[in-house]
């Protein structure tokens, strides 16, 4: 169902680490009439347009946004890893962990796989 944003109460209850960019929140709608023209049955309703894009199943279409979410989480993880390796010191050698060849190799391999 679609309702005007002014009729929706946004409830700021969702505080999940790493998912800030999703904009996910709880919401409530009280005593709002929704005309049939503003409803959708994603399972039974026929597409309004005949093109191939509109024949895609609803659930896979909605799930297509999960890829960017996973990439955002991965980007944050590698950025955090790089920052951590720059500040952590190897107790045996007294040098930053970023100087380890294995750490440099892993970061370089990851960065060549991303745009």
Domain-located, residue 75 = yes
Q: Which domain holds residue 95?
A: 66-112
Q: Based on the structure, what is the number of domains in the chain?
A: 2
What's the CA angle centered on 36, arms 34 and 40, to 5 degrees?
A: 95
11 and 50, same domain (yes or no)? yes
73 and 51, same domain (yes or no)? no
- Measured between alpha carbons, how far apart are the two ends of the chain, in Å? 37
Write the CB contacts of 95 (distance below 8 Å, at least 6 apart in sequence).
Answer: 89
Domain-located, residue 51 = yes
Write out pLDDT tens, residues 21-53: 666 778 899 999 998 888 888 777 777 888 887
Answering whether pTM is above 0.75, one says no
Write out pLDDT tens, residues 52-102: 877 777 777 777 778 888 888 888 888 888 888 888 888 888 888 888 888
Give just the sign of the alpha carbon dihedral 49, 23, 41, 39: negative
Domain-located, residue 101 = yes
Q: Are 38 and 2 in contact (CB under 8 A)?
A: yes
Q: What is the pLDDT of residue 2?
A: 85
The answer, yes or no, to whether residue 111 has pLDDT greater than 70, is no
52 and 86, same domain (yes or no)? no
Domain-located, residue 61 = no
Instruction: Give the percent of the chain with pLDDT over 70.
Output: 88
Gap between the Cα atoms of 23 and 65, Å rounded: 13
């Amino acid at each position: 169902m679609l309702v005007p944003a002014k009729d929706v109460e946004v409830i700021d209850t969702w505080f999940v680490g790493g998912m800030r960019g999703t904009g996910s929140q709880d919401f409530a709608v009280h005593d709002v009439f929704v005309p049939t023209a503003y409803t959708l049955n994603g399972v039974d309703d026929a597409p309004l347009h005949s093109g191939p894009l509109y024949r895609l199943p609803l659930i896979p279409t909605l799930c297509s946004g999960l890829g960017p979410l996973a990439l955002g989480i991965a980007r944050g993880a590698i950025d955090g890893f790089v920052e951590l390796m720059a500040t952590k010191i190897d107790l045996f050698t007294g040098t930053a962990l970023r100087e380890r060849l294995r750490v440099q190799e892993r970061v370089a391999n990851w960065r060549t796989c991303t745009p």
